A and B are shown apart, each in its own frame.
Chain A
Amino acid sequence: MYEKPLPIIDPDSAPYWSATQQHKLVIPRCLDCGKHHFYPRALCPHCHSDKLEWTEISGRGTVYSYIVANRPAGPAFKADIPYVVAVIDLAEGPRMMSNIVIDDPSKVKIGDAVQVCFEDVTPEITLPKFKLV
């Protein structure tokens, strides 16, 4: 049984999480200023337009920063230590927090290229994670 915290899906986030279930990364793009944003909002945080469309993105990015957790964020993560939590600069612009899936965390560096992968953690929830490419 999966014991780690799961996202509590709400109407704003439902399209995002339903896309990850299909192993797709789909985030809002603004039809007025053209910029993507993440996490999904009702208004574009760049120009405040409400003309938004859900857009599939490449899943490519680079490591903006990361930590190696040697103490877990609660008991459910204990078996995973050491694990990597990173902020990824997505190729399309926004930043996203995720894990970098890797056996040896010492191999990760800022600026490394990464590609999304998907982990089906429950029948309802699929988490996007990243691997070095």
Chain B
Amino acid sequence: MSKRKAVIVGVADAPLKDGMIPGGASPLAVQARCAKDALAEAGLTLKDVDGLLVAGMWGNPGPGMLPTVTLSEYLGIRPRFSDGTNIGGSAFELHVGHAALAIEQGLCDVALITYGSTQKSEKSRNLAGRPAVLTMQYETPWGMPTPVGGYALAARRHMHEYGTTPEQLASVAVATRKWAQLNPAATMRAPLTVEDVLKSTAIADPLHLLDCCLVTDGGGAIVMTNEERARDLKAKPVHILGFGEGQTHWTIAAMPDLARLTAAEEAGKRAFAMAGVKHKDIDVAEFYDSFTITALLTLEALGFCERGEGGAFFASGRTAPGGDFPLNTNGGGLSCLHPGMYGIFLLIEAVRQLRGECGDRQVKDAKIALCHGTGGTLSSGATCILAKD
């Protein structure tokens, strides 16, 4: 069997103004435009696409229940490989892994991964909890604010076990804002201090409003093909060294350990083993930061520091611009954008860093990047380790 290595040859994201798609658009239109842009970057068109991977929250109940089928129809394509796996915001790191497998096996030659959301424009974000059916009948009746409540439970437990402080958690948001200030496309760019975070409402104590990600629209697309085909394309390929996925629970009471992100531990180990690289080889990291605690738990779970040391790591400023561990260089979900499922933007930023396109926020000599997505309520994780050509 011929082993053809998969590479990323195009990325695109939807420009936002004040966190919204200017002029408005449906989530399908957002994805179509991003797909066209990402393909154009590679020197390809929709006619070349024979693999489609989609995850989103749009059109449910309705056409979003069969997202790859709906999007194929909308785009006028007939993929021979598709994957609509939804494990939450981490789905896109999983999609890169699954697309790589399909490309290596020759199940498709050009894979398109898309995401679109217009939640801010539609004002459709709702914290009223999930319908109390099946497993949710044991959660929703107690008024748990979702999704922040589950993350706040984890933050409280981490504070209890390791002495992590609200100030240390706030320092995650502060470091991330400093990156956003270097990114003209970021939604929130005003200066932010630890005091600002602690003064904001403790909406789900111990987490404050400014410990939470933004609520924005957003769209993105990623195009992958095999190395051989990439040679004839205009874009510089980004290589996929390794990937891994894991999942542990959906109801937060079933999380194996609230102070430990087991899904990330498992996904990360698998990705590092496949990539054959070490932690010190990672030049730039992009972690899902739905909340400050998410990034902290991910740092520990992936093994960049010991468990319990994440708070001090962030408070030292190592993740901020100029630090030795550049993290969330676009400004993250906390300050750049967060349309509900953020994982595709981790990959887009990593690819741009590896191609050296990031202007003021460019990490010097970035050769290897790690992206880790977290989905659900600390439920699932997927890791991709990428390398420049």
Contact = CB atoms under 8 A, between A and B. Distances in A.
A77 B128 CA distance: 9
B62 to A, nearest CB: 21
Residue of B131, B146, B156 contacting most chain A CB atoms (<10 Å): B156
Contact of A97 (B126, B139, B201, B206): B139
A110 interface: yes
Nearest to B157: A65
B258 A69 contact: no
A96 B202 contact: no
A73 B156 contact: no
A85 B134 contact: no
Given A71-B145, A96-B138, A99-B142, A5 B253 contact: no
Contacts of B142: 85, 97-99, 127
A67 B206 contact: yes
Nearest to A94: B253
Contact of B127 (A4, A73, A85): A73
Interface in A41-97: 64-77, 80, 82-83, 85, 87, 95-97
Contacts, number: 123
A7 interface: yes
A8 interface: yes
Contacts of A87: 153, 252-253, 258
B149 interface: yes
Interface in B203-232: 203-207
A6 interface: yes
B266 to A, nearest CB: 18
Contacts of A9: 137
B137 A72 contact: no
A65 B204 contact: no
Interface string A1-40: 0001111111001000000000000000000000000110
Contacts of A76: 128, 143
B273 interface: no
Interface of B: 126-129, 131-135, 137-146, 149, 152-154, 156-157, 160, 201-207, 251-254, 258
Given A65-B258, A71-B204, A87-B153, 19 more contacts: A5-B129, A7-B132, A8-B132, A9-B137, A39-B251, A65-B160, A67-B205, A69-B205, A70-B201, A70-B203, A70-B205, A71-B127, A72-B143, A76-B143, A87-B252, A95-B253, A97-B251, A98-B142, A105-B205
* Minimum-distance CB pairs A-B, first 7: A74-B128, A7-B137, A68-B205, A71-B203, A67-B152, A77-B143, A65-B157
